[in-house]
Amino acid sequence: MEKPVLQLETYFLFPFVIDKEVVASAHPDFWPPLRSWIDGLDDWLRSENCATENPIRSRLGGWRRASYSEFDLDSRAYQDMVFFHPFVRRVFFDTKSSDQATLLRVYEMMLPQTLPLLWQAADVRSRSCAVPITDLRLFLFANGVGILSIGVERANCSVREALWMNEMMRKVYPTSGRQRREGRVPTSSKLTVGEEILAEETFENGAIVQFQPPLSKVIQSLLYFLNYDTLEYEQIFDERMIPYSYMAVDPGFGTPDKVEHLFSRFLYVDRDGEGFRYDPEFTRQQMKEHCYRRWAHEGTYYGFTRYSNVTLALGVSDRGLHLTQEGNLIERMFAGRYYLMAIVALFYRATLLDFAESVALVSRRLYENLAVGRLERQNVEIATDLRNEFLNFSNYWYFDELANKDEEIEHFQMQCRAYRVEELRVQIEEELANMNAALNEYNQQRSTEAVNRLAMLSMIFGAGAVLTGFFGMNFGHVFERYFFKPEADTIGVHIGAVAMVTLITMSIILLGIYLVAVNWRDYRFILRDRNAPTKRHRWFSLRTGG
């Protein structure tokens, strides 16, 4: 069987996190102090100053908003949305409805109408492929997380070619120079239209700069509105994108064992070969956890790992009452609701990994403060904002049950288990709770100190008030002659009493001023106008420190 792969369709998903503080500081016209991040995105991406000259933008026109606008029975929006709970539709679907203010923006890039946009890759062993890009989408969320989706499609190819394409094209940087020399990373990855090269990466050189690896220029060119070199964004997984992939093979591909071998290599993004890539018993045990076999008897297999999400189908045929004349059911589900669930699950993992980094950076700042016994108010507010953001994620974004049918729920939960979503969420929740407890303990200690200062000042001022009241009492005779109506022989006592009272009063006033001055950090914020439009501290970047 020469060309057993009837159709291969893959979306390479690249999750990243935008440093909103750095971008907002670089573009203050789009993010004045009281404007939210999500509200400024459309204006920024439409503007001419969100990027330098870029061949991708010049040739394809750049990213444009792709909100759902039609909702009739046969519309894409209806068929995508109908399988999700109503509250999920409000949260994860970008629509043009005027009464829906989503915290998500979806963009697309228009592909050339005459010549195809090709993605070409080659390695040192003279293996290569060139596939047309069929879909370019960008998901940007209000918390700064983004997902770039690059869709490609290939028909009538060999298993070896299909597996090589998935394995090689997902690489966004090499882990060492050996990878390039051994043919485990492309020597060339480029986007072309006809003879025109829009972006190219050779992976010849690279170094980690400020903890960031040398990200592929193909990815950087598609994210042209962000500057990777100035840390405006960072990739948050490893050196690979996530292949979300569908493969339809000839129904006569081979024995069940051969299909199982192919599915294992497709699932674990390995290259073609005989049998399993790893120990057979180990692989079979792993596949029990990672495979969804509800429809295996009809030749459809689904698989989920931390670095892949795949669908394998034997042939294209009627599935029950679903007729092929209405379109390939498996491919339609793959490109519709399952794709959206894959995006949501990836968003969850990306967000939680970003939280993990933010918690670590905030903890470091608090540790540095507490090491010198002086907790900066700004760091307390940053920690408070971090807890509020996590609360918003848990209450607004996070749904354990995303869809309304068993199969969809099971798909989503299997992907979330592979991503360790719930484990990460619980872990970060505990870390934030511990941080909150530590800050509360510190604040309680500071409050106790403030109460003690107040008590001491009250006693001293109270003593002064008693002394003043004592001298203000209408005593007569000797007391009056010495203190209020002194004569020549008692003037010294009078002057001495006045000096003593003045000294005590001034000492009390100066002591009060001193205590307020040395503890001014505790008092100055209560005098600030809370309604004044000031530059909010949320524009402070944890990653860059500025």
Residue 304 and residue 345 in contact, taking contact as beta carbons nearer than 8 Å: no
Query: Does position 317 have pLDDT exceeding 70, yes or no?
Result: no
Of 76, 78, 74, give the one whose Cα is nearest residue 108. Answer: 76
> Average pLDDT in the 290-314 region?
92
**Which residue did the predictor score with more confidence, 320 or 267?**
267
pLDDT value of residue 100? 60
Q: What angle do CA 316, 319, 321 make, to 5 degrees?
A: 135
Q: Inter-axis angle of helices 421-472 and 491-518, to 10 degrees?
A: 170
CA distances from 364 to 351, 371, 446 (A): 20, 10, 21
* Residue 182 to residues 7, 19, 159, 289, Cα–Cα distance (Å): 29, 35, 21, 32
SS3 of 143, please?
coil
Question: Is 129 in a helix, a strand, or coil?
Answer: strand
Place 117 in a pLDDT band, splitting at 50, 70 and 90.
very high
Q: pLDDT of 429-443, one tens digit each?
A: 999 999 888 888 877
Number of other residues whose CB lies within 10 A of the CB of residue 279 = 10
Compute φ and ψ for 417, nearest 5 degrees.
Answer: -65, -40
Give yes or no for a contact between 541 and 144, defined as CB atoms under 8 angstroms apart: no
Q: What are phi and psi of 301, to 5 degrees?
A: -125, 140
Is the pLDDT at 526 greater than 70? The verdict is: no
Sign, CA torsion 66/414/433/90: positive
**Where is average pLDDT lowest: 10-14, 114-118, 251-255?**
251-255
Q: E strands of 254-328, at which residues?
A: 291-292, 300-305, 308-314
Q: For 26-30, 85-89, 319-323, 517-521, which range has the lowest pLDDT when averaged over its residues?
A: 319-323
Return mean pLDDT, the chain.
86
Rounded alpha-carbon distances, angstroms, from residue 253 to 4, 70, 260, 263, 419: 7, 41, 11, 12, 31
CB 206 within 8 A of CB 143: no
CA pair distance 351, 447, nearest whole angstrom: 35
Pairing mode, strands 308-314 and 242-249? parallel
Q: What is the pLDDT of residue 99?
A: 52
- Please tell me the predicted confidence (pLDDT) of residue 533: 47
Average the pLDDT over each of 66-70, 292-296, 346-350 and give the range with the smallest value. Answer: 66-70
- Average pLDDT estimate for 313-332: 71
Asked if 152 contacts 170 with a C-beta cutoff of 8 angstroms, the reply is: no
* CA pair distance 284, 297, nearest whole angstrom: 18
| Residue matched to tokens 């390939």 | 328
Q: For residue range 205-217, what is the model confidence (pLDDT) as tens digits?
A: 888 888 889 999 9
For 138-178, write each residue's pLDDT tens digit: 999 999 999 999 999 999 999 999 999 999 999 999 988 88
Give one DSSP letter per residue of 395-445, joined into a string.
III--S--BSSHHHHHHHHHHHHHHTHHHHHHHHHHHHHHHHHHHHHHHHH
Q: Which residues contact 162 (CB under 8 A, 6 or more apart)?
A: 5, 8, 154, 247
Q: Which amino acid is at 240?
A: R
Distance CA 527, CA 216 (A): 50
Q: What is the widest separation between alpha-carbon atoms in the chain?
A: 129
Burial (CB count within 10 angstroms: exposed 0-12, middle 13-18, buried 19+), residue 196: exposed
The domain spans of the chain are 8-63+109-250, 254-325, 336-546
**Is residue 187 predicted with pLDDT exceeding 50?**
yes
User: Do 92 and 98 touch, CB atoms closer than 8 A?
Assistant: no
> Lowest mean pLDDT: which of 13-17, 181-185, 241-245, 512-516?
512-516
Determine the angle formed by the axes of helices 337-371 and 377-392, rounding to 10 degrees.
Answer: 160
CA dihedral 456, 460, 462, 466 (to 10 degrees): 150
Whether the CB-CB separation of 183 and 123 falls below 8 Å is answered with: yes
CA distances to 118, 195, 197 from 192, rounded to whole Å, are 5, 7, 4
Share of the chain above pLDDT 70, in %: 88
Determine the Cα–Cα distance for residues 151 and 138; give it in Å rounded to an integer. 11
For range 401-428, the mean pLDDT: 93
Sign of CA dihedral 428, 429, 432, 433: negative
Check residue 488 and give its pLDDT: 76
Range with lowest mean pLDDT among 70-79, 137-146, 237-246, 418-427:
70-79
Look up residue 539 and give its DSSP letter: G
| Interatomic CA distance for residues 432 and 424, integer angstroms | 12
Percent of the chain residues topping a pLDDT of 90: 46
DSSP 8-state secondary structure symbol assigned to residue 429: H
Chain mean position to CA 430: 19
Side chain identity at 327, as an amino acid letter?
A: G
Give the Cα separation of 402 and 422 in Å (integer).
Answer: 14
Helix/strand/coil for 12: strand
pLDDT given at position 19 = 92
Q: State yes or no: pLDDT of 537 exceeds 50.
A: no
Instruction: Return the structure tokens found at 163.
Output: 């597996």
Residue 53: strand, helix, or coil: coil
Confidence class for position 307, pLDDT limits 50, 70, 90: very high
Structure tokens at 341: 């669930």
Q: Cα-Cα-Cα-Cα dihedral of 454, 460, 463, 469, to 10°?
A: -80
